Amino acid sequence: MTMSDQYDVIMIGAGPSAIFCAYELKRNKPDMKVLMIEKGRRIERRACPKRNTKVCVGCKPCSITTGFAGAGAFSDGKLSLSPDVGGNLPEILGYDRTIELLKESDDIYLKFGADEKVYGIDEAEEIASIRKKAIQANLKLIECPIRHLGTEEGYKIYSRLQEHLLNEGVDMIFDTMVKDIIIEDGVAKGVVTDKGETYTADEIVAAVGREGSEWLSGICRKYDIETQVGTVDVGVRVEVRDEIMEELNKSLYEAKLVYYTPTFDDKVRVFCSNPSGEVATEYYENGLAVVNGHAYKADEYKTNNTNFALLVSKNFTKPFKEPIQYGKHIAQLSNMLCDGKILVQRFGDFVRGRRTTEERLVRNNITPTLKDAVPGDLSLVFPYRIMKDIEEMIYALDEVTPGMASDETLLYGVEVKFYSNKILTNKDFETNIKGLRAIGDGASVTRGLQQASANGLSVAKSILNK
């Protein structure tokens, strides 16, 4: 592949928002020169040794969170088809326009092999029953049709997209970090990589994902790019037997439930549910371990457990301005207690304020799917307020799906969603630096695959219409 130094558009990152932006640009204007620079690997070279070794070997960069398709390649691959879930696009683009873009991005996923089945639209009677129980427990059920790619199928779909973009003439540079953005007189001119290479373009699109959110925050500080303090999402990953979640799993696949806690009136939400899935570890820069979860389509990978995240959303006011550092600090406390691994605690021990031991864990009906998780005490990690929020949310969920508040329900910590301070943009996602746009999860615009993909399409259309 012959590389150029001058491009029409440069994408920083190669996650879903960048992929769909590049796809739309080349579909409408095949001669447009587009470059994607990604600090991780090509998708076919993304492999996590832990699948075989059972322990993290500290790959740099981590193949789970970086590389073509970003963290989405190895996520559970759930496409939320409602504008109410997964980001702030309706606030920026309007509800109807967001619906159009979600439909358009969904059609592209289908074109590249996504499963045609959609959960949460056919079981009206069952969903009405779940909603009634949710209302009685003061929970809000957000109805959101879900298309489930599955971890292994999502990987195949993104592999096809990578091949398509390469065939369409998109230049891609992997294993390369963008060190800096070239800005002259308030105008973005290009980028400089960690290998000393310079590439210029009329449009720079920062699509760095959560993995790059801290880097992007640094760029914002350096060049006075306007931001506002973002939300901090921190909590646990809950694991129960499939039998406990059977009704929700069957009718909704992923139940989107939101609760405002009685003690503190904090927002807690259910996020990323994985029926018959497994709990997993994600590693960020400097070896920071946080918890996540996956579910596979293939029967041979299915387990007997369902896992999901409970995230407490915190919005801080001045003088606070470091949401990423706050989330990292909590995760580092957990890592410190567990020698860099994930902490697990039974709900019964969590409520009683005592440490879970190996002996208590062995008594459980539930066998942890994260085999190297370390039994411990989350009260040494979380502030009291977050502990109380999680406890009250689990008791509320128990009214919808009895058994959730069992002593043996497993809580893994810490789950953190890293968002940079929210970058202030116009409806075309242009920052106050001319020629620099910020999109996707890393810019705190979106919080999931489908809205990130739709965001990429919207920016491509804006660039094409200039």
Q: Which residues pair with 192 in a beta bridge?
A: 180, 198
Q: What is the pLDDT of residues 225-252, one digit of tens each?
A: 999 887 889 999 999 999 999 999 999 9
**236 alpha carbon, distance to own chain's centre:** 15
In terms of domains, do 201 and 262 share one?
Answer: no
In terms of domains, do 247 and 108 share one?
Answer: no
Q: What does the DSSP assignment read for 2-35?
A: ---SEEEEEEE--SHHHHHHHHHHHHH-TT--EE
User: Each residue of 238-274: b (16+ CB within 10 Å) or e?
Assistant: bbbbeebbebbbebbbbbbbbbbbeeeebbbbbbbbb
- How far apart CA 110 and CA 208 sit, in angstroms, is 25
- How far apart CA 179 and CA 58 sit, in angstroms, is 22
In terms of domains, do 315 and 390 share one?
Answer: yes
In terms of domains, do 394 and 266 share one?
Answer: yes
Pairing of strands 78-80, 139-142: unpaired
CB atoms within 10 A of CB 56: 19
Residue 132: inside a domain, yes or no? no
In terms of domains, do 453 and 365 share one?
Answer: no
As a whole number, mean pLDDT of residues 306-315 equals 94
- Token reading at 40: 């991780």
Residue 136: inside a domain, yes or no? no
Residue 131: inside a domain, yes or no? no
Residue 134: inside a domain, yes or no? no
As a whole number, mean pLDDT of residues 385-414 equals 98
pLDDT at residue 205, rounded to an integer: 98
Q: What is the pLDDT of residues 269-295, one digit of tens each?
A: 998 899 999 999 988 877 899 999 998
Q: What is the pLDDT of residues 38-71, one digit of tens each?
A: 999 999 988 877 667 766 677 778 777 899 999 8
The domain of 29 spans: 6-114+149-228+422-464
In terms of domains, do 10 and 64 share one?
Answer: yes
**Has residue 1 got a pLDDT over 60?**
no
Average pLDDT taken over every residue of the chain? 92
Contact 149, 73 (CB under 8 A): no
Residue 142: inside a domain, yes or no? no
Q: Which residues pair with 30 in a beta bridge?
A: none
- How far apart CA 460 and CA 24 sit, in angstroms, is 6
Residue 125: inside a domain, yes or no? no
Q: What is the pLDDT of residues 118-142, one digit of tens each?
A: 988 878 899 999 999 999 999 999 9
Residue 123: inside a domain, yes or no? no
In terms of domains, do 426 and 412 share one?
Answer: no
In terms of domains, do 314 and 446 share one?
Answer: no
In terms of domains, do 236 and 207 share one?
Answer: no
Q: CA dist 454 to 337, 437, 460, Å?
A: 40, 15, 10
The number of residues making up the chain comes to 466
In terms of domains, do 192 and 310 share one?
Answer: no
Q: What is the CATH number of the domain that holds 95?
A: 3.50.50.60
Q: What is the pLDDT of residues 193-231, one digit of tens each?
A: 999 999 999 999 999 998 898 899 999 999 999 998 878
In terms of domains, do 38 and 108 share one?
Answer: yes
In terms of domains, do 235 and 206 share one?
Answer: no
Q: Please give the tally of structural domains in the chain.
A: 2
* Listed residue (66, 104, 68) closest to 460, CA to CA: 104
Please state which of the ranges 27-31, 58-62, 346-350, 451-455 shows the lowest mean pLDDT.
58-62
